[in-house]
Structure formats: structure tokens, C-alpha cells
Structure 1
């Protein structure tokens, strides 16, 4: 009986150790994908899944045959109930992360049910006054985004 007890206790410790050491995909820092290339479909899709409305992402079309390289992201009809302002904020937020993390992406287009937006790396960097490739962590990039999204005039300057 003591031997069975020892085996059970040991098994519980091993189980606790294994589950404690494993990390969930959603909890990983998005900057683990820094330096991704637009041709790496799985990494690009993984980044999109971690961004705003990632759960509503429907399809991705990559433009990799001729430069400038870019992508069009289509979301399902979740956005029918979203305002134009919310769509613009989602486009800016997601484009900022995508262009900061994907080295050779020059533009990102968003296809929402009630609007389409295209953001280029040059436009976004000029708008922020910052080089996106210089960011190395999620918190700093998030602060920058929130600062600019708080100003509706700035948002209108970028996306009309």
C-alpha cells in the first residue's frame, strides 16, 4: 500500500511539474515573432490570431510575387455591428503590430464587411514619427498605439 501511495504522489508531482512548465500559446509574447517574413504563412496567421479580433479572422491573402509585399486580411461579419471608428482603430492597431513584426511587409489591407482600409509601413511610420522596427516589446508598442488612437483627428489623418 505504501508503494502505491508513493507512486501516486510521485505521479502527481510529475504531472504538476509538466503542467507548470508548459505555457499556453496565447500567453506567449507576440514579439517572439519579431523578424518574421511575409512568406511564413503560419507565423503571420499566428500573429493575426493574437491581435484585436483575431478570433474573427477569416482569411489571409499574401502578396509575395512582386514588391512591395503585403497582405489583405478579411474578417468575418463580426464587424457589422462595429462602428467605422472601431474598424479604423482595429486596422491601425493590427497594422502597427504586423508591420513592426514582419520585416519585409510593406502594407496591410483590411477587409471589413462595412469598410476597407490599407496602411503602408511608410505612412504609419510617418504618422507615429517612429521606426516600427525599433520596438522590441509589446508594452512599448501598445503605449504608442493607444496614445495615437486617443486622438480622433490623428486617426482621421491616417485613414480618412
Structure 2
């Protein structure tokens, strides 16, 4: 058994040993280096692409925030029109020649005029002439956003136009009301007489009832003019 092992060892020693030439070694080494470089280039490309996509996404997100924030700011700066939700005078024609004592019709008219969302109450004075009415407006319990909207809607400039508009509509539709007083947040704001607004517009207010052409060309046009509205209040 020992003899056989010795013979096998001699045969193995006599076998030619593997040999690589210098050229072959250089070729193998160069191939390994090339493969390593390719792997690194692939990783570098992937990293560059990732960074590039991340940069594009960040830029797009920044642009979105800038655009939306400026858009919101621009919207917030826009004034709320006193005509927001106001009907054409022709839509109220069915209430033409209403009497100041007709509580339900007066309530229906007020409900369609600007500011009705903030209307708190109204009262009618019908015991003796001059017949009159008083309408009160103010906030309820409002959240921050609603509070901001309320303050913008009832800015001094807007309130003046709302009350002048509502008084003109009420005088046009309620044939026997002589005076109208508006109260804002518990404080008297303004009081108009029919005679006063007849003189301001240069015609009897009753002529505007159901006449949309006259209403738009005279009442709406006049109340959009800040100077004319200020003149109306300055004379009080």
C-alpha cells in the first residue's frame, strides 16, 4: 500500500507544471482592469442619472411652490366684489310694488341682496309716516378663514357700495318705504331716504324696477365709481 502511494507521488512530480507567459498574465490582468472600469463607469452613470433626476424633481417642486404661493397671494389680494351673488333687478320684478308692511316679501327681497349671508335681523316701522325699515348685519361665530372673508367683504369701501346698492333696490321695489337704515356689527352705519337717492341718480328710483338696461347703465355703473360713492356718503 505504501509502495503504491510512492509511485503515485513520483508520477505527479514528473507531470509538467502549469505555466503562464508574461504576455498571458498581462492580458488577464488588463481584462480584469477593463471589467472593473466598466463596472465603475456603470455605477457612476447610475449615480449621475439619479442625481440628475433628483435635481429635476427638486426644481419642479420649488417651481410648484413658488407658482402656487404667488397664485394664492394674488387671489388673496383681489377685492371681493360688492356684486357677488347679486341678482339682476329683473329677477326681483315679481316683488315690484311691495308694501313695507308685507313682512314675507320684504324678507324675500333682503335674502337675495348682497350681504344676506351676514344679515342678522330687520325691522319695519309702519305705524306712521315716514315709513321705514332697519336692517342689521354682522358676523356669527366664524373660523379664521371665514373671519378673513368677512373682514374683506365688509371693508369700508365694500360696505358703502353694498348699502347703497341694497337701499336703491329696496326703494325701487318697495313702493311706500321712505327711509332705510343699515346697522353693521351693532352700530348704525348709514341711513338713506328715498328723496336723497332720487336726487343722487337723477330720477325716481321706482323707474329702475324691472328695467335691467337702466339698472346696469346707471345704478351699477355709478356704484362701481369709488368717487361717486364717496360723494354720496360725504354729503351725509
- In terms of mean alpha carbon deviation, does 44-53 or 105-114 score higher? 105-114
Q: Residue 142 and residue 132 in structure 1: after superposition, are their counterparts in 2 closer, same or farther (change >3 A)?
A: same
Q: Could you say if the C-alpha distance between residues 46 and 138 of structure 1 is closer, same or farther in structure 2, counting changes exceeding 3 Å? A: farther
Report how many aligned residue pairs link the two structures.
135
CA distance in 2, matches of 1:136, 1:72: 21
Corresponding residue to 2:190 among 112, 117, 132: 117
Aligned match of 2:96 in 15, 34, 38? 34
Q: Does 1:57 align with 2:116?
A: no
2:226 to 139, 152, 155: 152
Rounded Cα–Cα distance in structure 1 between residues aligned with 2:105 and 2:114: 16
Q: Which has the larger radius of gyration?
A: 2
Question: Following the alignment from structure 1 to structure 2, what is the Cα–Cα distance between the partners of residues 68 and 115?
Answer: 19
Correspondence list, 1:1-160, <5 A: 29-77=91-139, 80-81=151-152, 82-113=154-185, 116-137=189-210, 139-140=212-213, 141-160=215-234
Structure richer in strand, relative to its length: 1
Give the TM-score normalised by structure 2. Answer: 0.53
Q: Deviations over 1:121-141 (max 9, x none)?
A: 111010000111122425232
RMSD, aligned α-carbons: 2.2
Check whether the contact 2:181–2:188 (CA below 8 A) recurs between aligned residues.
no
The answer to whether the 8 Å contact 2:173/2:209 transfers is: no
Q: Identify the structure with the greater helix proportion.
A: 2
Q: Which runs of 5+ in 1 are unaligned?
A: 1-25
